[in-house]
Amino acid sequence: MLFNSIEFAVFLPVVFLLYWFITARRLALQNFFLLLASYIFYGWWDWRFLSLILLSSMVDFLVGVGLGGTEVQWKRRLLLGASIAVNIGLLGFFKYFNFFAQSFADAFTLLGKPIDPARLYIILPVGISFYTFQTLSYSIDVYRRKMLPSQDIIAFFTFVAFFPQLVAGPIERASHLLPQFHRRRTFDHDAAVDGSRQILWGLFKKIVIADNAATYANYIFNNHADLSGSTLLLGAVFFALQIYGDFSGYSDIAIGSARLFGFDLMRNFAFPYFSRDIAEFWRRWHISLSSWFRDYVYIPLGGSRGGRWLQIRNVLIIFLVSGFWHGANWTFIVWGALNALYFLPLLLTKSNRAHTDTIAEGRILPSPREFMQMTMTFLLTCLAWIFFRAASVGDALAYLGGIFRASFFRMPEGEFGWFPLIAVLFLLTEWLQREKQHGLALEAAHFPRVIRWSLYYVVSILIMYFGGDQQAFIYFQF
């Protein structure tokens, strides 16, 4: 079920009303109802893949119970190994089997011994990269004794399948989200109102910004051989707007929807395109995944401790793994490697944490230096996005070569209507709200009611005007 669908527009208020008016008196009933609603939400896409969520949930629940019942170290390692094997095994089979089979065949072809690889017609289950990482982090944290195992199977299964963030995150930590299923929840009017605003802003990002940017980006990427360098650069910018509006829009809808039911999800985006360097960008982009890799891969490898070569190795591993997580294509691995190359100079000069505050905090405009840093970081990010978007590494290199031609100095080709103006107004709104949680976080003390409601109506009208064919969220494919 898509967040930007009529089905979800009916599903959400129905679940909301039943949740607060029918099940609110009993915590166990609330959790069971949310579990049922979450399985309906996921099964709407393909009910057969509910078996994978059930398998992952059951394995990690039993692993947690087992870890809580033994102090014998080899048994604990065996239990953790079972959790890792099941979760990574599921992810590897459904997401990477054909990739490895084809890569294996290509390697033999290069050696002069071509073979025909075995390939399967495998449908990638929506959200498998997200919920397997979420349950896996639970097993690891219980193994590390950072949290006690859950004894409530309904609460645990609901934590894994919670519908607002089931298919595209945020990737929640059990230590943050699971306890919220163990305590009684009461309706919070202010949280629900702000959650509704965040849902509205997320829909605007998806329907008005991302889907329109996708139209122009798709045309330019599909015809890059015939277009000028300036048009190709604009296409990369359009894709940057598309993937940001699409994914952060999903996160806004997820976080806002969870607040309607009394839950607090972690922030997943913090206005990343206003970053002053790549290190700051990765602290603000897909925060739940970046922090997951930091805590469960980077730090166990040694992090930034040790010698220079160890630091370089760890950074390369973390970015390459992050790229590979996004998909079974060499383009994602190159995208990860390119971001590692952006990041390494900052790490080696110990300036990777130079910008941990908000740019131009307390000021309307950035300084000239901040503006140049922000612009350069955005352009580097756009160049990396070309590999993310391209069908192959060859296509990405051809696209990059097309940018750096004499035609770069011509005016971009094509008719883009009102979208560039809407995109500029969108970025301006986000800039003014960069110290808030989202673009429509408007406090009554600073914004009169007429201003707030006028803005809500304008955003709603734009959503209805631009709303047409449902477009799936980009990160559903990951």
Q: Which pLDDT score, from 0 to 100, does residue 121 have?
A: 61
pTM of the prediction?
0.92
Instruction: Return the domain boundaries, the chain.
Output: 6-186, 190-276+355-477
In sequence order, what are the residues at sequence separation of 6 or more whose Cβ sits closer than 8 angstroms to the Cβ of residue 236?
Answer: 382, 383, 385, 386, 389, 403
E-assigned strands of 308-371? Answer: none
- Answer whether 159's CB lies under 8 Å from 466's CB: no
Burial 96-133 (b: 16+ CB within 10 A, else e): bebeebeeebeeeeeeeeeeeeeeeeeebbbbbbbbbb
- Choose, from 224, 286, 326, 438, the residue flagged as catalytic: 326
Q: Which pLDDT score, from 0 to 100, does residue 153 have?
A: 96
Q: Which pLDDT score, from 0 to 100, does residue 109 have?
A: 56
**Tokens 């040694």 found at:** 302
CB atoms within 10 A of CB 153: 13
> Is 326 known to be catalytic?
yes
**Tokens 């949290």 found at:** 147
Hey, CA dihedral for 59, 63, 66, 72, is it positive or negative? positive
Q: Which pLDDT score, from 0 to 100, does residue 110 have?
A: 58
Q: Containing H/E element for 424? A: helix 419-432
Mean pLDDT per 10-residue interval, the chain, length 478 residues? 87 96 91 96 87 93 94 94 93 72 55 58 77 93 94 96 90 94 92 95 95 93 93 96 95 96 96 97 95 92 84 93 88 95 92 92 94 97 96 94 90 87 94 93 84 91 78 71
Q: Which pLDDT score, from 0 to 100, does residue 303 have?
A: 81
